[in-house]
Chain A
Amino acid sequence: MSDINWTEKVNPLIYRIQRQDKYALNTLYELVHCRLFSIILRIVKNHQESEDILQEVFIKVWGQANKYSGTGSAWGWLCVLTRNTALDRIRSLGTHPQISLSDDDKLYLGQLFNEHSLTQECSLTTHSLDKCINSLKSQARNSILMSFIYGYSHAELANELSVPLGTAKAWIRRGLKELKQCLAA
């Protein structure tokens, strides 16, 4: 799916779902279910559990579409809803299956670290996120991406990277600050 215009279709679908349009929910499912499933699977690491969470996400979308205020994109809202649902599930189970990154995960992160990887995949020649992420120091970049993509908590990050908790928190805080400055530039 190299065409990024599909994200523009999400906003009107969410507005239709707010009016309880079942056909819009089905269209949204067809449009994004594989991507949302990938987000969940990277965090949860269990196919069956991920399917349950995907179901929960779409039931939430049906019932809580009104919570989308229109500030920001509906795709961004949907990603946060999906990640939070997955994170709530693993935290309610009391265990995060993420003991350490597998080779596949490292490969995926490696692809993200490569310069222009995002622009190549998305045809986003003007988007600055990849440039800004790649301009961060490796610790800050790793911490942010491991939290965002694999749902690492501060404590899990500290453990995985073998650093004190305060250091992991500081890397994230500093990384986000630099990322914001770079994106705003």
Chain B
Amino acid sequence: MSSCLRYRNPIICEHVAGQYVLGTMTPRVKARAEKLRQTVPELDRAISFWSDELSVIHQCGKPEAIPSANVWQQIEKHIELGEDQQKTKTRSTQAIPWWQNLSVWKTTSFLGMATSFALALVLLTSVQQPIKPLATGASYVAAMSAHNQAGADIQFIISAYKKQEGIPSRLQVQWSENHPRTNKVALHLWAEDKDTGQLTYIGLEPSSGTVWDLTKPTWLAVSNSSRLLMTTSNEQPDQQNTLFSGPCIQLKEWQQKT
């Protein structure tokens, strides 16, 4: 029995969930359980059951202690500092000398003009031609299941559609009816090159909808890949952050005569 199927066993699932919520697991085992609950809905439900039932203990009675008032100030400061750092990153180009700024502005103006021109062209062509639905046939498909769990059920499919007139190359994510998505964590997609094994970052899944526009380099990375991986962060995939993976295969042309 594969490890993933093992955790679907109600007895094992209950045991893991109970120990997780009680806090008797070692940090390593706890990290594994946290990762598993994102791919095994039964475990997620069992953990939620114990969390809810036992948390009643913590909601009863009067709190016994009060933290000092500066805790909230520290939290607020930390959050604002994080936001400031993000803003600083985006403003970093403004910190360079004025003469460099000038060249940046020149380039930006030129690019802005070029982009506006290109946008106008795109709009013009899209007005003339009705927006086409997603391509009729996928060029590549990856069947995604829990990472490194032999025999794990396929949880969703990623289909890659080749660029067509007026429609960019696209990816579409479709979850299994039998394994509806349990986590809401935005996932990051990577493509593993079939020749070199090199990993290319494709991007963060869109917050709304499941269709994903690809640029030329990311399309090439997907079309040359042997495997796709989904991670919880944009850092290089490893055992800790990789949730799903699946082989990426090329399909024949839609309705192509054999």
Chain A min CB distance to B83 (Å): 9
Asked if A76 contacts B23 (CB within 8 A), the reply is no
Asked if A66 contacts B186 (CB within 8 A), the reply is yes
Residues of A within 8 A of B44 (CB): 69, 71
Asked if A73 contacts B71 (CB within 8 A), the reply is no
Complex CA–CA separation, A157 to B113 (angstroms): 71
Chain B min CB distance to A50 (Å): 7
What residue in chain A is nearest B30 (Cβ atoms)? A84
- Which residues of chain A (124-150) have a CB below 8 Å from chain B? 124, 127, 129, 144-145, 147-149
Asked if A84 contacts B59 (CB within 8 A), the reply is no
Number of A residues with CB within 8 Å of any CB on chain B: 70
Asked if B75 contacts A76 (CB within 8 A), the reply is no
Residues of B within 8 A of A68 (CB): 184
Let me know if B60 is at the binding interface, CB within 8 A.
Answer: yes
What residue in chain B is nearest A70 (Cβ atoms)? B184
Asked if A37 contacts B27 (CB within 8 A), the reply is no
Residues of B within 8 A of A84 (CB): 23, 30
What residue in chain B is nearest A124 (Cβ atoms)? B56
Contact of B51 among A42, A77, A183 (CB under 8 A): A77
Given A29-B72, A173-B15, does the pair A183, B53 have CB atoms closer than 8 Å? yes
Asked if A55 contacts B182 (CB within 8 A), the reply is no
Let me know if A115 is at the binding interface, CB within 8 A.
Answer: no
Asked if A22 contacts B48 (CB within 8 A), the reply is no
User: Which 7 pairs between the two chains have the least Cβ-Cβ distance?
Assistant: A72-B48, A76-B51, A34-B63, A121-B60, A176-B18, A79-B55, A76-B52
